[in-house]
Amino acid sequence: MYNHKNLEEKVFDGPFDEVVLEVFRFQYENNQIYRAYVDALGKNVANIHTADAIPFLPIRFFKTQRVITTQFDAEVVFESSGTTETTNSKHFIKDKSIYERSFLNGFRQFYGDVKDWCILGLLPSYLERSHSSLVYMVQQLIEKSNHPKSGFYLYDFGQLASVIRQLEADKQRTLLIGVTFALLDFAEQFPMPLKYTTIMETGGMKGRRKELIRNEVHDYLQKAFGPQPIHSEYGMTELLSQAYSKGNGIFKSPPWMRILIRDEDDPLTIKQSINGKARGVINIIDLANIYSCSFIATDDLGVLYEDGSFEITGRRDHSDLRGCSLLTL
């Protein structure tokens, strides 16, 4: 019998290579969907001793199945944005505090104490619907920053511009985190040189604008706001952790999240690094997903580097256009 609370602590503080196997066995024994999938592959669980031998659940299962480990009444259900033509993914959350611990610790690792920041959220399409994990995260960052000007903005770009000018005058470290189409709209209407404000895009065009590759988006934003690098957040409804890029589209993950690359033609094969990198389809281990599934086979194409950093280079053909997607090359 597993001590769930003890395993929760290990997720964030334990040695990854040891904890990942413990989480795998815990989920195999307590997640009916994942167990059925592993068994259908004919895998002998007793022979799995390394992370790259663990089966990864295709992400589409979150669209049709209740992917949960242990039985529980969900404290919250996060739902993907999707489009009118797609089925939304649902992530049933047993304990919101695990998600909060993940994104707060992750933010602290990459950006320091949130209390040093003013957090401005430009997420109109997400605020207009409920059950967004991204909105929940940014709301918590806004509250914990405790800055009087932290907050969400819908379409009042004039007010947002005024707030940013005041923050710049005050030399206040500011994070403007926004969905891509809204950042582009804001840049078009209110270009201004920024010195103390970090721009972070979360992806997301949702048919509002012509699809652009990431470099085009970043070039446009830099022409409007100055030469400093454009940051990016990589997350999704099916994950409770995020990776961050501080420029050039190179992402880094927190210690409890790891990226692997699978072969596009043989999805059960994990590709090894050749000349310092591996290219293929992204698999994600997110140990914070302790009560859903920590082993996710995404539809994102990418490149993994030997230091664990990675790039997103596109989407597999015929996969749904994700609400947080951004075309890349």
Q: pLDDT tens digits for 232-281?
A: 999 999 999 999 999 999 999 999 999 999 999 998 999 999 999 999 99
pLDDT at 322 over 80: no
- The span from the first CA to the last CA of the chain, in angstroms, equals 47
What pTM was computed for the model? 0.92
Structure tokens at 92: 């049933």
pLDDT at 142 over 80: yes
State the pLDDT confidence band at 3, using cuts at 50, 70 and 90.
low
**What pLDDT is stored for residue 327 in this prediction?**
37
Structure tokens at 168: 């710049």
**What pLDDT is stored for residue 229 in this prediction?**
97
**What pLDDT is stored for residue 86 in this prediction?**
72
Nearest residue to 298 via CA among 248, 256, 261: 261
- φ/ψ region of 171 (left if φ > 0, alpha if ψ in -120 to 50, else beta) reads left
Lowest mean per-residue pLDDT among 86-90, 133-137, 186-190, 280-284: 86-90
pLDDT at 2 over 60: no
Long-range contacts of 210-215 (CB under 8 A, 24+ apart): 211/327, 212/180, 212/326, 212/327, 213/327, 213/328, 213/329, 214/249, 214/312, 214/326, 214/327, 214/328, 214/329, 215/249, 215/328, 215/329
Amino acid, res. 325: S
Percent of the chain with pLDDT over 70: 91
Lowest mean per-residue pLDDT among 16-30, 122-136, 163-177, 258-272: 122-136
Per the prediction, the chain carries an average pLDDT of 91
**What pLDDT is stored for residue 329 in this prediction?**
32
Structure tokens at 252: 């880094």
**What pLDDT is stored for residue 278 in this prediction?**
97
Amino acid, res. 277: K
Is residue 91 a contact partner of residue 77, using CB atoms and an 8 Å limit?
yes
Structure tokens at 180: 């891509």
pLDDT at 207 over 80: no
Structure tokens at 222: 């830099």
State the pLDDT confidence band at 210, using cuts at 50, 70 and 90.
low
**What pLDDT is stored for residue 324 in this prediction?**
42
Q: pLDDT tens digits for 91-135?
A: 999 999 999 999 999 999 999 999 999 999 998 866 677 789 999
Residue that is written with structure tokens 């065009």 in the block: 205
